[in-house]
Amino acid sequence: MLTIGFDADDTLWENEAFFHLTQDDFVSLLKGHGDPDVIRAHLHDVQVANLEIYGYGIKSFTLSMIQTALDLTGNDLPGPVVARLLRLGQDMLRHPVHLLDHVRDVLADLRDHRLILITKGDVLDQERKVAASGLAPLFEGIEIVQDKTPQAYARVLQRHRLEPEEFLMVGNSMRSDVLPVIEIGGRGVLVPARLGWVHEHAEPPESPRFHRVDSLADLPALVRRIEGYSTGMAV
């Protein structure tokens, strides 16, 4: 029987939508300092460059907004604007957790499997969201990693005494949830999200261990097909 890993942000609960809304506020705040598309592009570039320093998450995003604003204003950023940017980040950190459709039903349907939640980003924020979601009791393990690399997944599997061929990872990011797991010999299932961050985009692999479902509701049937429950033969 497969052990199933679940991504959290935009797989179990809404996340990217709040970044998009905050970016809209950010662009509006700096509308006198450039074209909206240029502002968004510069913020994206700063975010990606800062990943090595600050990692993923809202705190990193907030610092990137401040840095971008300084760049676009020639380091002439009024104190009230800095305060507003900090409040935007704080509002994101306080936002309630909204579970996506089918999450509870799917986790209940797969309760006979070993389930592990694997998420990346700021530890405090991820712990807050896990607690607020009410889903923690449904998972045997909860792993918060700085980045989802093949090495990070290998360490998670080692901690849980799993072989890659026993593991299936489910998430909305090709870059973070699918490709690194396939690289180490596991299976990856892409569940496309309504919104996504361009940094997480990647081309799908040509691998029989890559799967895609249009909705999380389709996951239990896929798992049973993989395990051979429908045909009597593993695929």
Q: What confidence tens digit (pLDDT) does each residue in 161-194 have?
A: 999 999 999 999 999 999 999 999 999 999 998 7
Compute how many other C-beta atoms are within 10 angstroms of the C-beta atom of residue 31: 11
The C-alpha angle with vertex 49 and arms to 84 and 196, in degrees rounded to 5, equals 75
User: Bridge-partner residues for 212, per DSSP?
Assistant: 190
Selection from 83, 74, 79 nearest residue 33 by Cα: 74
Q: What confidence tens digit (pLDDT) does each residue in 193-216 have?
A: 876 656 567 788 889 999 999 999
pTM metric for this prediction: 0.89
Would you say the C-alpha torsion 173, 177, 67, 85 has a positive or negative sign?
positive
Phi and psi of 94, rounded to 5°?
A: -95, 0
Q: What confidence tens digit (pLDDT) does each residue in 129-148 have?
A: 999 999 999 999 999 999 99
Q: What confidence tens digit (pLDDT) does each residue in 104-138 have?
A: 999 999 999 999 999 999 999 999 999 999 999 99
**Domain residue ranges of the chain, discontinuous segments joined by +:** 3-14+97-226, 16-93
Phi and psi of 25, rounded to 5°?
A: -65, -40
Q: Is the pLDDT of residue 226 over 90?
A: yes
Cα(27)–Cα(197) distance, integer angstroms = 17
What pLDDT is recorded for position 160?
Answer: 97
Cα(42)–Cα(44) distance, integer angstroms = 5
Q: What confidence tens digit (pLDDT) does each residue in 53-81 have?
A: 998 899 999 999 999 999 999 999 999 99
- Between 1.10.15.40, 3.40.50.1000, 2.60.40.420, 3.20.20.70, what CATH number should domain 3-14+97-226 receive? 3.40.50.1000
User: Bridge-partner residues for 211, per DSSP?
Assistant: 189
Compute how many other C-beta atoms are within 10 angstroms of the C-beta atom of residue 233: 6
Selection from 40, 39, 92, 37 nearest residue 62 by Cα: 92
Q: Quick check: helix, strand or coil at residue 163? A: coil
- Between 2.60.40.10, 3.50.50.60, 1.10.150.240, 3.30.70.2860, what CATH number should domain 16-93 receive? 1.10.150.240
